[in-house]
Amino acid sequence: MARDRRFVAAHRGGPLDLTRHRLLAGWAADCAEHVLPLFTRTHPDDHRPRLAIEAARAAGHAVATAHMADHSLGAAAYAVRAVKLAAPAEAAQAAGDHEHRWQREHLPQAVRGLVVSALEEKTVLGG
């Protein structure tokens, strides 16, 4: 699948400025953190995911410029998938829908249009 050019950072010749790139990285960390309790319930002594999220926030400025911005969409997609898998089968779709709403509500305004349009085009979070 070809990359969505709108998510290519300016330093790589794309249209995505550093500020919006950083906002996407922060939102991706928020999505992961939101579903972290699903992991810690079954692995309470494994602190690696929490540490990774904390590192992403602490080093967000450096990470956001060094990595691909469109990977932020993957964090959101995996969060939806985790919520659906953790829910009883009959409630999985509703749980996924609830997670979609939470994610959209927590999108920074400066990248809302970019993310929503990308999701509508690709149905990235439809899984």
Contact 76, 28 (CB under 8 A): yes
Can you list the pairs that 59-63 forms with residues at least 24 positions away whose Cβ atoms lie under 8 Å?
A: 60/22, 60/25, 60/26, 60/29, 61/22, 63/25
DSSP letters, 8-71, are: SBGGGTSSB-HHHHHHHHHHHHHHHHHHHHHHHHH-TT--HHHHHHHHHHHTHHHHHHHS-TTH
Interval 63-106: pLDDT, tens: 554 566 777 788 888 889 899 999 999 999 999 999 999 999 99
Tell me the C-alpha distance between 2 and 5, whole Å: 9
Interval 36-51: pLDDT, tens: 999 999 999 999 988 8
Looking at residue 28, what is its pLDDT? 87
